[in-house]
Chains A and B, each alone.
Chain A
Amino acid sequence: MTVNLKRSSPGGAQEPGRRSMLGLLTGAGLAGSGLLGVISNLVFIKPRATYGQPQRFTIGKPDDFPTGSRVALQAQKICVVREGDKLAAVSTVCTHLGCTVGLSETGFACPCHGSRFDHDGVVTGGPAPKPLPWYKVTLAPNGEIEVDKDTEVPSGSYLSL
């Protein structure tokens, strides 16, 4: 559209090749600025930081979780599962309406609407539509376990210590 505007304006004694070249350059410049403007606005829409607790955090040394234990961490809303040399973190947020599920003999049980999950977080009963997600677990350089709730991993993927 800018290019058209330029062409309709009175030209003077310049050659058409140079005129259209300048018109193209003007158009490219404006289009570039516009593009940058659009990108900045799109990037701006997504916040870089939120005010909640961080999604990646450390939960202590592997020794804090003895073999065969399942420890639910209330504040972080995860359950740390340790089996031998393997360790994993399973979400304890019910996939139905977001209640915090409790540990039970057979896995997890939601106190709100009675959803049941097995040890791997697979739904065994109740209204929950999806299995409990597993989160990525790594060993931080200072020797502590780091859980990244931003990254889900397929159920059954453990961190080998």
Chain B
Amino acid sequence: MRTEHLSGFDFGATDLDAGIFFETAASRLAAGGRAVAYFAIPEDGAFRLVMAVAFDRDGRLEVYSSALAGPFRSLTPSFPQLHLFEREIYEVSGLKPLGHPWLKPIRFNTPGAVPGVAEFFTVHGSQVHEVAVGPVHAGVIEPGHFRFQCHGEHVFHLEIMLGYQHRGVEKKFIGAPDARSIHYAETLAGDTTIGHTWAYCGAVEALAGVNVSARAQTLRGVMLELERLANHTGDLGALAGDVAYLPTSSFCGRLRGDFLNMTALICGNRFGRNMLKPGGVNFDLDYALIKELKLRLDNTYRDVESAVSLLWETSSVTDRFEGTGVLAKEAAEGLGIVGPAARASGVGLDTRRNFSCGPYERFTMAVSGSGDVYSRAYVRWVEIQRSAELIGGWLDALPEGPVEAECGEFKPDSAAVSLVEGWRGQICHFAVTGPDGKFRHYKIVDPSFHNWQALAMTLRNGEISDFPLCNKSFNLSYCGRDL
């Protein structure tokens, strides 16, 4: 296993002239690049635009930046994957992307903004009507506002308006790290504690030039895959519940908890809080704990297998899953969709493969082609199998060595991009340090930031009753997107 740290890079070297910046961005995106981050940093009374572009097949990242004081050229008309990034830049900096087709607030955090009060896409015509839902929903779930433009049950368009969970986390990283930073990372999205905290630790370690031991990396892998197992299992159960197939729904509800309890067995918390820290992990496994974990993993996995296999063998389930909420591969690529949702539409993107590091060498990803609810559910099931295999293998051959390393000062005027494949998809943390060696800026891109638009697309020409099913097949994060 490679344990050399990914190093931070000289941020000044990314600087381009504004004209060249937009030309480069456009040509690199046209060449198959995928924007993993695009944001504005305050600089000398104006701003600096920064874009990180990934070439997944080559496992390559490129970063460009340019100083900017006024309106700029929107690239969204040619590259829809940038639509929310540009809206965010506009909301944060006031710099207007000229030519953006649907420029409106995304977090309603500017003076005078009222959440949910903005222009909505509307459809007019005889008997066309609008269904509005939220921000307080019927279930125990985070807040958001959804508007369907319908004709009877038929949905023409769904527009999703979020921002209710905005609690101002990103800016609290500026001038850090401090004692609270790790807790911000752990609570960016509560069900993705390990994913986000690993991304945070990766950024810190790159900037501090610290190598994480093979044992600590493997333990992080165990935690990340347990997180994936818990969420995928829970979501397959919820999907079964949404098509009224109660056996799998009941079984998986309990089994999700069994995975969470395994996480708690390792670190004391069901969501993996207090496990990771820059330089390594807080808790090690001894022989007795490894034995106990293996036993529980085997039993729980066999129960999940029995619960989930019922889905594929029950015609009332497959009938509802197949052909519902199709996201075409072109749409998924065009919108920069990530995670199991992208893989279920045939996009070969998995950070564990494309940007393989730590314990994930020689990882093979699960890709399926049909892009419907069935495909998203099935990809999750294949990933459950893969995660269980990975954990089993790691527990059998845990590398010896320490589980923590000292993290020193950050390199000044540097930057680091940290990518982790969370259970929803690729998480990106982009950290920039100032001359004082503290965070000058910290940008977080949760997979949900990209993927909410995919959910909206799957509802087009569907039915309102497909919404819960499509929604669960993605199960996106509100707080991770709103930050």
Q: Do these two chains really belong together in a complex?
A: no
